[in-house]
Structure 1
């Protein structure tokens, strides 16, 4: 099966089935990561080289296994599709964001706050309706790059091994990549390697937002605002996405009882239920664009 058809099959499988409800491979990987962290970072004493070693032990053998399985005759192509399917979070993003928009439209702020708390780390109970909508729109835009476009990018570039390596590295960043006393040194490699693997996908995602939304505004926000963000990859995605939607995102947010200043991104209307739905629609158009370009490339050069 061609690359484009394999990607289309994985996206359709995700749209139909969503994430596996039971026996998700990342659950088992999380247990392995916890064991490696307990071994290499006892009481937060791990150094950078120990974090890098733990990262390699967690990621590289499984990446090699994915390469071996993908090379098997008859079933290798199916296993590649399943690898990409397991890495995608397209339907999951919709399942988490749509209830927030629905609750806001119904005027049920507590339900919207509770639904938002499932996908963000900020304190949602202190947010008004605009703050909830802002958090949900930001989550859709940022996670679109991590959970959808980066997976498609690495699958297109390196097949099953590429997408497995990316998804495992991204998971380790979510588990270890914190600037806390426990993970400042041990989690350094996980955070930096995730930044590296997301560098190109994030900018291609931002470009997709610009092409499919308010182009001039998206490019202008990307150029002027992205550098103000702490995240080197989240900045372009969030700024371009906010500009493409014509919505204002960012600003102060409360984490663990402490308000933290963040740059204002985008311009135009305040966030609302409509902006959440518009972000999801932008995501769907972006996936369609990527699939069409890859299928067209395969037809022209295959």
Structure 2
């Protein structure tokens, strides 16, 4: 039951304390990545890949060495702390509620400002439905990126898995833009992040389906996910929209202009209540994960021991 205990302990720490307010390890890593990018940047996929390896591999190596050489109680404690630092469930919930609350009372400027801290689109041009859509989509997608993917990589590869996935995901958020500066330099980080999230995204979609309107979610996943630009966000968003009985996608304003996106899901357009409903779906899906981990715990621990 150790994998279950570690995951539950990390989730409880996140629930009680939220993200570390001071000296968050990902903030320090971000500063390092920025410094390395400024020094090594070139319009080259190879250089970007080497920069990614330079900033990620030493930390994965340290995590692997700790898992091998430290006494097992210390390893378990580090796994709990590492997974706690990697997930961001409470932070995601706080950001989402900060959008839903003003939107529910008609304070559109405050809702726009709050959702601007969650998404990259031009929130100044969003109406109430656009704000609700952006926040709901962010909850569903970040539920995979910031929560369940980290849990998956812990279960598969322990502390090195958590560290490797979270750092690559952070680099994708920093370098994975299709801009003149990062189109090639950030390509390796973006593609590796897609690979690392391929299985977790589909398990997240399955969790959403089991925690909501299962038949509708599975149908939307099977018929709509392939229309979405991202190979991992498509299943997550389609299943989540179907599970909630919502329509997501559609036109969205970005700095470069209005982007027409396929419609996902079935049902009504999002409202302020949809943001809260998406949070509820995410929390229920995590319970589904915990049940699955509890059932498969012995096999997971045997796998981890064999790998180590």
For this structure pair, what is the TM-score category when the shorter chain's length is used for normalisation? over 0.9
Instruction: Please give the per-residue CA displacement for 1:256-294, whole angstroms capped at 9, x wherever unaligned.
Output: 161111111111011011111111001111111111211
Q: How does 1:42-121 map to 2 (within 5 A)?
A: 45-71=42-68, 72-73=70-71, 74-121=73-120
Q: Which residue does the alignment assign to 1:139?
A: 138
- State the secondary structure of the residue aligned to 1:269: coil
CA–CA distance in 1 between the matches of 2:255 and 2:234?
23
Q: Which residue does the alignment assign to 1:158?
A: 157
Instruction: Please give the per-residue CA displacement for 1:29-82, whole angstroms capped at 9, x wherever unaligned.
Output: 1111112211221xxx33111111111111111011112223411422111110
Q: Which residue does the alignment assign to 1:226?
A: 225
Q: How many residues align?
A: 299
- Which sits farther off after the overlay, 268-277 or 251-260? 251-260
Q: Which residue does the alignment assign to 1:187?
A: 186
Residue 6 of structure 1: how far off its partner (Å): 0.7
TM score, norm. by length of structure 2: 0.94
Residue 204 of structure 1: how far off its partner (Å): 0.5
User: Structure 1 stretches of 5 or more lacking a match?
Assistant: none
Runs of 4 or more above 3 Å deviation = 299-302
Instruction: Please give the per-residue CA displacement for 1:157-191, whole angstroms capped at 9, x wherever unaligned.
Output: 01110000000000000111111111111111001
Q: Which residue does the alignment assign to 2:122?
A: 123
Residue 4 of structure 1: how far off its partner (Å): 1.0
CA–CA distance in 2 between the matches of 1:83 and 1:300?
22
Cα RMSD over matched residues? 1.4
Distance 1:300 1:162, change over 3 A: closer
2:23 equivalent to 1:26: no
TM score, norm. by length of structure 1: 0.96
Instruction: Please give the per-residue CA displacement for 1:84-116, whole angstroms capped at 9, x wherever unaligned.
Output: 000001101100001211111112111111110
CA–CA distance in 2 between the matches of 1:100 and 1:178?
25
- Which sits farther off after the overlay, 88-97 or 118-127? 118-127
CA–CA distance in 1 between the matches of 2:45 and 2:275?
39
CA–CA distance in 2 between the matches of 1:189 and 1:222?
27
CA–CA distance in 2 between the matches of 1:112 and 1:301?
42
Contact in 1 for aligned 2:208/2:240 (Cα 8 Å) = yes
Q: Which residue does the alignment assign to 1:11?
A: 11
Instruction: Please give the per-residue CA displacement for 1:191-221, whole angstroms capped at 9, x wherever unaligned.
Output: 1000000000000111111111111111111
- State the secondary structure of the residue aligned to 2:121: coil
Q: Which residue does the alignment assign to 1:285?
A: 284
Q: Which residue does the alignment assign to 2:36?
A: 36
Distance 1:299 1:66, change over 3 A: closer
- State the secondary structure of the residue aligned to 1:254: strand
User: Structure 2 stretches of 5 or more lacking a match?
Assistant: 302-308
Residue 248 of structure 1: how far off its partner (Å): 0.8
